[in-house]
């Protein structure tokens, strides 16, 4: 499968005590490999899936570290655009004392260089992919090119943020699977979400536009899933929270894996939720022991939460 999207260096700030806004907080800084696309790819490699990555990296120490580490894990970075006049993307997140993200700054301007013309030069590689995962860090023209030229392929898209997801609105019918959170779903659809009863209507909006599988992230309350066959809620497995960083990327990787394995919508959601839950329980964006066996063992020890009341 193929990832087209972000690879970045992550810097995470964690305070020793309660986070005080507008003040200097004693704490620690952690530097790690990240980026939405790269994180999804690493999770999939750890599940035994062959992954190619098309991204943009600066010709700098961070870019070389990302590429070398990815290759060691088994990801193919050979089609990456390396730019000597750009800096590798960086994501700075500040967590609170509960390890929830309070604010972040994403320096992702380099991904403007992943143009439609550049991707056209990789058309043969793209066409051969069993699944293509995009993220909304890509420019609108690039996303439009992918939707127009490869809409007949299984296209998955990560919304990234409510700010960036709006560029996907005119293209939704080209995507096989989308995973917006409630804010992103409301931003895309123009529909409000005030109570659980609004979720079927919201999901139907996506399905009516041609999306084959919709998974609306409800955070700690799980996923609300929809397809032409119907809608249902799949609750989240409850785990102690160590860090929320990377859980959404793990969830998207689980959705891709479920499709590749031919799982039902509900089983795909349960697998994806398990990957997210496992990631919540470690301090890093990727669970270092992530594997199909780990996920299945986790699921066998938890009660499936399909149909749980919101």
**pLDDT, position 304:** 45
pLDDT in tens, the chain (310 residues): 999 999 999 999 999 999 999 999 999 999 999 999 999 999 999 999 999 999 999 999 999 999 999 999 999 999 999 999 999 999 999 999 987 889 999 899 999 999 999 999 999 999 999 999 998 889 999 999 999 999 999 999 998 888 888 999 999 999 999 999 999 999 999 998 888 889 999 999 999 999 999 999 998 899 999 999 999 999 888 888 887 888 999 999 999 999 999 999 999 999 999 999 999 999 888 999 999 999 999 999 864 444 443 3
**pLDDT, position 302:** 61
CA dist 246 → 172, 242, 299 (Å): 24, 11, 19
The β-bridge relationship of strands 177-178 and 213-217 is parallel
**pLDDT, position 163:** 85
DSSP letter string, 60-86: SHHHHHHHHHHHHHT-B-TT-EEETTS
Give first-to-last CA distance, the chain, whole Å: 34
**pLDDT, position 308:** 40
Burial 207-245 (b: 16+ CB within 10 A, else e): bebebbbbbbbbeebbbbbbbeeebbbbbbbebeeebbb
**pLDDT, position 7:** 95
Length of the chain as a residue count: 310
CATH homologous superfamily of domain 2-300?
A: Ribokinase (3.40.1190.20)
**pLDDT, position 196:** 80
Tell me the whole-structure pTM to 2 decimals.
0.91
Put residue 72 in one of left, alpha, beta given phi > 0 → left and psi -120 to 50 → alpha. alpha
**pLDDT, position 307:** 40
* Token reading at 147: 């939707």
Q: Between the CA atoms of 269, 133, 276 and 265, what dihedral angle is there, to the nearest 10 degrees? A: 0
Structure letter (DSSP) for residue 226 = E
CA 308/CA 310 separation, integer angstroms: 6
Nearest to 277 by CA among 241, 229, 225: 241
């Amino acid at each position: 499968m193929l990832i087209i999207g972000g690879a970045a260096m992550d810097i995470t700030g964690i305070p020793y005590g309660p986070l005080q806004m507008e003040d200097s907080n004693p704490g620690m800084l952690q530097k790690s490999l990240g980026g939405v696309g790269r994180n999804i790819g690493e999770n999939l490699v750890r599940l035994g899936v062959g992954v190619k990555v098309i991204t943009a990296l600066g010709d700098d120490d961070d870019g070389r570290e990302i590429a070398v580490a990815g290759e060691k894990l088994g990801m193919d970075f050979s089609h990456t655009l390396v730019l000597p006049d750009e800096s590798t993307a960086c994501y700075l997140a500040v967590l609170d004392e509960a390890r929830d993200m309070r604010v972040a700054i994403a320096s992702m301007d380099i991904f403007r260089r992943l143009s439609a013309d550049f991707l056209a030069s990789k058309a043969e590689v793209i066409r051969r992919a069993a699944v293509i995962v995009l993220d909304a860090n890509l420019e609108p023209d690039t996303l439009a090119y992918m939707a127009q030229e490869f809409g007949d392929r299984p296209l998955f898209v990560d919304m990234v943020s409510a700010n960036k997801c709006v560029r996907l609105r005119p293209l939704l019918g080209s995507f096989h699977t989308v995973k917006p959170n409630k804010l992103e779903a409301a931003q895309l659809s123009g529909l409000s979400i005030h109570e659980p009863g609004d979720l079927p209507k919201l999901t139907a909006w996506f399905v009516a536009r041609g999306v084959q599988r919709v998974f609306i992230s409800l955070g700690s309350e799980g996923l609300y899933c929809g397809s032409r066959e119907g809608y249902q809620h799949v609750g989240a497995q409850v785990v102690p929270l160590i860090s929320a960083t990377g859980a959404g990327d793990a969830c998207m990787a689980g959705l891709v894996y479920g499709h590749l394995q031919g799982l039902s919508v509900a089983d795909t959601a349960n697998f994806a939720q398990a990957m997210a839950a496992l990631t919540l329980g470690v301090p890093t964006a990727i669970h270092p022991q992530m594997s199909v066996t780990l996920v299945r063992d986790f699921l066998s020890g938890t009660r499936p939460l399909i149909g749980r009341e919101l």
